[in-house]
Structure 1
Amino acid sequence: MQWLHRWFATSAGQELADQESRLISRRLAGLYAQRVLQVGDYGGGRCPTVFGDARLWVLDNWRGGQTDLRASPEVLPLASGSVDVVVLIHQLEFAERPHQVIREAARALAPEGHLLVVGFNPLSLWGLRRMLAAGRSEPPWAGRYLGALRVGDWMQLLGLIPRPHDGIALMPPLPQRLRRKAAARPSNYGRSLGPGLRWIGGVHLVMGQKRVAGPTAPRLRWHRRLELIPGGIPQASAGARNAGRERLNDTG
């Protein structure tokens, strides 16, 4: 994925990286996230913002990056259930084994933790641009784009509950020669999209939560069942109360 890192070093890549980092930061602000793992390095020290006493680690197998951990996303050097949030930065569409990547991310998540997947959307103008560039290996058009529904299905198979996703970057970046001409005009391809346009954003952020079912309470025997009084407070049946009084009288 070194060529993807090289694209993020371009002006178009830097603009998108900034927009994605801000979007991730907004989502992290609403989550319990003491331990955050970002899989995939934007380069240049770009990272989402974490809040309070939270700690963020960046993992990548890119030798030229400023990472905390150097490893493959298919084999994370972390114990199961050890992080609160895992953020995958364009990992699934460019991995040889995307199922293994998302499986490892889910394994590292603590119970009730969140998985955030950032990827390019095939049902967008970016996806159309990729189809027109078929056979070319230039970034970011060489990957296998995955829709939000498919990523959500993968999450459900791993026991994660998908949450409403976000979309940004409605318009793909202009070619470099055209970007020079349009440099004086503000670019809008990286702006956040409203709910009605998130499905066609060039980049989507799909989120899922790892839910762990709690223990099932044992069923009470018939002579220990509780009756509800009109106030809604559970109390023992009259027979049980009388039996309790008799035991107290005998001991007195």
Structure 2
Amino acid sequence: MQGLRDWFATTAGQDLAEREARLLSRRLAGLYARRVLQIGAYGGGRCPTVYGEARQWVMDDWPNGPIDLHASSEVIPLASGGVDVVILIHQLEFAERPHQVIREAARVLAPEGHLLVLGFNPLSLWGLRRILPVNRQTPPWSGRYLGARRIADWMLLLGLTPRPRESLAVLPPPLQRWWLQRHPSRVADSQSLGPGLRWCGGVNLVMGQKRVNGAVSPPLAWRRRLEIIPGGLAEAGAGARRTRRETWHDAG
């Protein structure tokens, strides 16, 4: 993942991260999200905005990075059912075992919680860009891109109900720079594409909800503390921002 983090530190990567963070912020505004776990850190520690009394943590396998938990996305050191929202930031296409990553994300979700998956779209200009020999073996072009339908199928197998996907960033960085040079007063694409253009977006946001029969609504059901698994690999990151992320063991 270090190569992907390096790419997100570039101008093109920072631009994409900013647009993704805005999209995630809008989605979080409509969800019950008292505890939000973001798996995958952007280069500058960028996070979507959380609202109200929500707590937010970032987990990544990034020693001394701007994170709160140092752990692999394939083994999340948290107790099952303790997180309202899990966000996977380009984890599936760069993981050795993507099935295990999404399985762990679903495990730590609380009943009625939401899983948000950001990933590059193989059926887009970003997907076609991977064919070019230039930097083909480096992120973000070296990933195994997964279609939104496949991710939705995985969610169904794990008991999550998928919602309609969203997408953004039609143009990959080389074409986006060309567009901006020819049209300096216009942006390359909108923040979120409409239903008719979602198929060509370079980045998909696939969201699923963990529906449980007979589950009580989240505000009434929440009584337990969010717990780190005893003996887990989690440790506080040096860049943790305690102004918004206080402690894993707050009573809520």
TM-score by length of 1: 0.80
Distance 1:186 1:206, change over 3 A: same
The match for 1:111 is 111
Task: Describe the SS at the equivalent of 1:88.
Answer: strand
Contact 1:169 / 1:189 at 8 angstroms: preserved in 2?
Answer: yes
Distance 2:140 2:122 in 1: 12
Matches within 5 A, 1:183-222: 186-189=186-189, 191-214=191-214
- Whether the aligned pair in 1 keeps the contact of 2:84 and 2:110 (CA below 8 Å) is yes
Q: Is the 8 A contact 2:33 2:85 kept in 1?
A: yes
Q: Hey, what does 2:170 align to over in structure 1?
A: 170
Alignment of 1:230-249 (within 5 A): none
Match of 2:218 in 1: none
Q: Deviation string for 1:211-250 (max 9, x for gaps)? A: 11129xxxxxxxxxxxxxxxxxxxxxxxxxxxxxxxxxxx
Quick one: distance in 1 between partners of 2:34 and 2:161? Answer: 20
**DSSP-derived class of the 1:131 partner:** coil
Secondary structure in 1 aligned to 2:163?
A: strand
After superposition, the C-alpha distances for 1:20-72 in whole angstroms (9 at most, x for unaligned) are: 00000000000000000000000212100000000110000112520010000
Q: Partners in 1 of 2:83 and 2:161 — Cα distance?
A: 17
Aligned residue in 2 for 1:61? 61
The change in CA–CA distance for 1:58 and 1:33 in structure 2 (over 3 A counts) is: same
Deviations 1:143-197 (A, max 9, x none): 0000000000000000000001100001111179969967955541463211111
Distance 2:14 2:135 in 1: 25
SS in 2 for 1:75: coil
Mapped partners of 1:42, 1:123: distance in 2: 24
1:144 — aligned with what? 144
1:93–1:145 contact (8 Å) kept in structure 2: yes
SS at match of 1:164: coil
Name the Cα RMSD after superposition. 2.2
* Percent of matched pairs sharing the same residue: 69
Aligned to 1:240: none
Larger radius of gyration: 1
For 2:41 and 2:190, how far apart are their aligned partners in 1? Answer: 19
* Unaligned ranges ≥5, structure 1: 216-252
Q: In the superposition, relative to structure 1, how do residues 182 and 174 fare at CA in structure 2: closer, same or farther (>3 Å)?
A: farther
Cα distance change, pair 77–156 in 1 and its aligned pair in 2 (3 A) = same
TM-score, length basis structure 2: 0.80
Output the CA distance in 2 between the equivalents of 1:134 and 1:150.
28
**Bigger relative contact order, structure 1 or 2 (CA pairs below 8 A, ≥6 apart):** 2
Query: Cα distance 1:138–1:177, how it changes in 2: closer, same or farther (>3 A)?
Result: farther
* Letter matched to residue 121 of structure 1: N
Equivalenced residues, count: 215
Distance 1:190 1:89 in 2: 20
Q: Evaluate the alpha carbon distance shift between residue 78 and residue 190 of structure 1 in structure 2; reply closer, same or farther with a 3 A threshold.
A: farther
- Amino acid across the alignment from 2:132: L
Aligned counterparts of 1:103 and 1:30: Cα–Cα separation in 2: 24
Aligned equivalents of 1:6 and 1:183: distance in 2? 28
